[in-house]
Structure 1
Amino acid sequence: MNSAFLSKKGTAAAQKPARVDMDLYFEAMKNRFHAQENPEGAFPMNVAENHLCWEMLKNRIQKVTREKNIPNWVASYGDPSGIPKFKEATANFLSKFLIKEKVNPESLAFSVGATSVIEMTAFLLGDPGDTAVIPAPSYPVYTGDIGVFPSIQRYDLQTHQKMEELNNGIPIHTDQLEQAKRDIEAAGSRFRMLILTSPDNPTGAIYSEQQLRQLADWCISHQIHLVVNEIYGLTPINHRHPEIKDDYPNPIQFVSFGKIMAEYHSPFLHFWYSFSKDFGISGFRVGLLHSLNEDLIKAYRNIGLSHSISNYTQWVLAEVLNDLEFLEQYFSSFQKALTESYLIVSRTLKDLSIPFNPSYGSLFTWMDLSEFLNEKSDLGEEELWLDIYQQTKILLTPTHGFGHQQKGLFRMVITSFDHSDLEIAMGRIKEYVLKKRNG
């Protein structure tokens, strides 16, 4: 590549994909499994998409576009951070279904997807060279979201070494944050943000209300911004289901960070959400920041034009969000379907005695396949990951990029195929494991 063609950042972008599994993902998508048309096809189960109740939501959206006249304001410019009607509809939705506290529409700012919201927030809260601490393992693309344009560094906080340490939730403590702060400052940087995801990607774990309060208190006292990403906030696994309830001996109750924000009313506490996962509409590109920091919301509005969502999308979604009866039906159906997907996967893993983390929510199962590693290294993990894909046509996401030190852990997206197809995928996993064990 001729570096004269591009800037330094442009050259780096051309040479490095956003994530390690993207090339294989595009290959797998071209050969995607179909029970009748392509029964030997691939199962791309590495990208976090939810297709479980799309038909139900699609029918409701089509009802809007058939029966409603497009309002004239859709064709005009509007508030870059979100049209007032959409802010109001979303605030009511969050208040009723997720945060369970009244949300002021003026505390919301929207962008084209979660990636844009993360990027914008990091840009506005941190200076180039600052550091964001993220408990590991965590979403690989946080690195690019906070790094490419905001130039914020990522610090992967090792809260645990082995998967079983997650049995009672994510073991994060303020003494770990104190050590991280010392490490970051010794390296000449500033600990500017702590980013949590609850339910977590990839583990499916959640933070207890007590943990969130302790972390909020610590961050406020050190003037560090705490952001909680609840993009999977309405994807709960029914951990009281008779088949899996014993996997949760000390169950944790999910409490939205928005509730704590409403109580603390601190400029250092923030909340991220997107419609891509709970609603299964990642292609609509709608994400939001909720913050009681008025300066942050004002700054977001002032520079957000290049990240703003189309008015047409905002109009359609506002109509759907205002139909509370439909939302009740949708989330009831989706959460039942999600739990069934989880049961299909967990049954097979238990039958095979493959360790996995009992999930409270999200679209994933986080499993330990380290027994099949030829060596406990990045190379050994990549070899196993490729072997699984080559032998089964199932594409998982390896630990590499999640920032965790343990090798041989893999993330499986459990919502990208319907239940009958998922059964077939797990059958392939079972065949692979038994073949490996039998030599």
Structure 2
Amino acid sequence: FDRDLCWRTEARLLPVVCHSSNNFKVTRKALEEAYAKAVEANISVKGLLLTNPSNPLGTILDRDTLREAMSFINEKNIHLICDEIYAATVFRQPDFISIAEIIEEDQEYNRNLVHIIYSLSKDMGFPGFRVGIVYSYNDAVVECGRKMSSFGLVSSQTQYLIASMLSDDQFIGKFLLESAGRLATRHNDFTDGLRQVGIKCLNGNAGLFLWMDLRGLLIDSTVEAETALWQMIINDVKLNVSPGSSFHCSEPGWFRVCIANMNEETTKVALARIREFVLRNGNKPNRKEKCGQSDLRLRLSFRRIDDVLRSPCIMSPHSPIPQSPLVRTRT
């Protein structure tokens, strides 16, 4: 969201701090604490932004959480923007629940505050078509969007193709069923492979990625140590993962791994590289865990963290290090 919402508008994102102790669930307490900090800093909060299913967690927001979110935004009289771009990537229970369903449960909810965004990029694998949707209950927002759409119209040819495809209920049903099956298989294969070398992942059920726990590989629990580890994975393992700090994660050591954009052979290569990387640093798979965390530790004594941070590499678009001229530019 930093790139999508902030680079041009200079809007400010304030993270709602969630914790691994409850699987990063969004709680009312976390919402209230984030809001209170904003008020204390004299920041006017305009809305709450949620992704459901979650990116990068790969989990869904349950009905109770969505109800709490609706209650919260109504009480604060702020907007709720719900990004449901991964709605059809759920590959096992529990099922996806749209915020639109929650609104129907209680007529007291202020619908003018709720806006849903969606795209065909993820569920249907059409990122190049640039087809997005804004579904709002607020007439003013819809009218504004209608006028702004003139600057980014979808071509007639694309509209015809998409309309024809979406009208074929049989094809859509088969496609989504096959997609869910493949996502489940890939998710299981990847998490099983990581588990063999003592690496755990958040128990997800949706999305095109998984949330990998590498806290046991950090020399200390800091963003600097996480960034150093990320740079080593880029340079040594030759895998492009996204560090948790680029998603405002409060706990260093979590990484997002995209698993749906590679074939079976590439998946095996990726897992083999991770295994070799862990074992090469003097670790043994399936070690006993102490205090709920892996006993894995990287041996970074041969290289100072500052040297790692300054080493040249191809930066991830989610990189927390603003070296790209696109990040630095103000015009």
For this structure pair, what is the TM-score category when the shorter chain's length is used for normalisation? 0.7 to 0.9
Question: Which one of 155, 167, 170 corresponds to residue 325 of structure 1?
Answer: 170
Displaced runs of 4 or more, over 6 A: none
Match of residue 230 from structure 1 = 84
Match of residue 310 from structure 1 = 155
Question: Which one of 143, 146, 165 corresponds to residue 22 of structure 2?
Answer: 165
Match of residue 335 from structure 1 = 180
1:254 aligns with 2:96: yes
- Matched residues in 1 for 2:98 and 2:46: separation? 22
1:146 aligns with 2:146: no
- Matched residues in 2 for 1:197 and 1:368: separation? 21
Match of residue 292 from structure 1 = 137
**Conserved in 1, the CA contact under 8 Å of 2:91 and 2:205?**
yes
Q: The residue matched to 1:276 in structure 2 has which SS?
A: coil
Question: Which one of 32, 38, 56 corresponds to residue 178 of structure 1?
Answer: 32
**Conserved in 2, the CA contact under 8 Å of 1:209 and 1:255?**
yes
Q: Give unmatched runs, 5+ long, in structure 2.
A: 284-298, 300-331
- Per-residue deviation, residues 104-138 of structure 1 (Å, max 9, x unmatched): xxxxxxxxxxxxxxxxxxxxxxxxxxxxxxxxxxx
- Matched residues in 2 for 1:436 and 1:290: separation? 50
Match of residue 211 from structure 1 = 65
Listed as ranges, the matches of 1:127-138 within 5 Å are none
1:409 maps to a residue whose letter is W
Listed as ranges, the matches of 1:395-414 within 5 Å are 395-414=240-259
Match of residue 196 from structure 1 = 50
Identity across matched positions, percent: 27
Higher relative contact order (CA 8 A, sep 6+): 1
Question: Which one of 264, 270, 273 corresponds to residue 425 of structure 1?
Answer: 270
Displacement of 1:237 in angstroms is 2.5
Q: The residue matched to 1:318 in structure 2 has which SS?
A: helix
RMSD: 1.8
Q: Give unmatched runs, 5+ long, in structure 1.
A: 1-141, 240-251
Displacement of 1:262 in angstroms is 4.2
Indicate how the Cα distance of structure 1 residues 408 and 173 shifts in structure 2: closer, same or farther if over 3 A, else same.
closer
- Matched residues in 2 for 1:351 and 1:297: separation? 50
How many residues are matched? 281
Displacement of 1:200 in angstroms is 0.6
- Matched residues in 1 for 2:22 and 2:104: separation? 31
Displacement of 1:164 in angstroms is 4.2
Displacement of 1:404 in angstroms is 1.4
**Conserved in 1, the CA contact under 8 Å of 2:18 and 2:26?**
yes
Displacement of 1:227 in angstroms is 1.5
1:380 maps to a residue whose letter is A
**Conserved in 1, the CA contact under 8 Å of 2:17 and 2:34?**
no
Match of residue 9 from structure 1 = none
Give the TM-score of the pair, scaled to structure 2.
Answer: 0.80
2:100 maps to a residue whose letter is G
- Matched residues in 2 for 1:188 and 1:434: separation? 50
- Matched residues in 1 for 2:238 and 2:25: separation? 35
1:361 maps to a residue whose letter is A
Match of residue 125 from structure 1 = none
